[in-house]
């Protein structure tokens, strides 16, 4: 029977900033995130990281990559 195994996790912060009067977005990525991290913990970490810069935090995304094993 096949199963899936976590091989990596990534946290992505989408921030907005103004450039020449236009609103733009950029992403900041952090790898090595625990796949079983609680959403509240991820949210807290994202806000702490976003607080270290001047850009506004718009979204927080989590990506977990799995390997299908037999």
**Cα gap 6→9, rounded to integer Å:** 8
Domain span including residue 13 = 3-69
Structural domains of the chain, count: 1
pLDDT tier at 35, thresholds 50, 70, 90: confident
pTM above 0.85, yes or no: no
* Mean of per-residue pLDDT scores for the chain: 94
- Residues 63/35, Cβ–Cβ less than 8 Å: no
pLDDT at 48 exceeding the cut of 90: yes
End-to-end CA distance of the chain: 6
């Amino acid at each position: 029977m096949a199963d899936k195994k976590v091989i990596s996790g990534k946290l992505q912060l989408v921030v907005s900033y103004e450039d020449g009067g236009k609103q733009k977005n950029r992403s900041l990525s952090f790898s090595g995130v625990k796949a079983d991290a609680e959403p509240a913990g991820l949210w807290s970490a994202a806000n702490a990281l976003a607080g270290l810069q001047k850009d506004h935090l718009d979204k927080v995304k989590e990506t977990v990559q799995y390997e299908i094993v037999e």
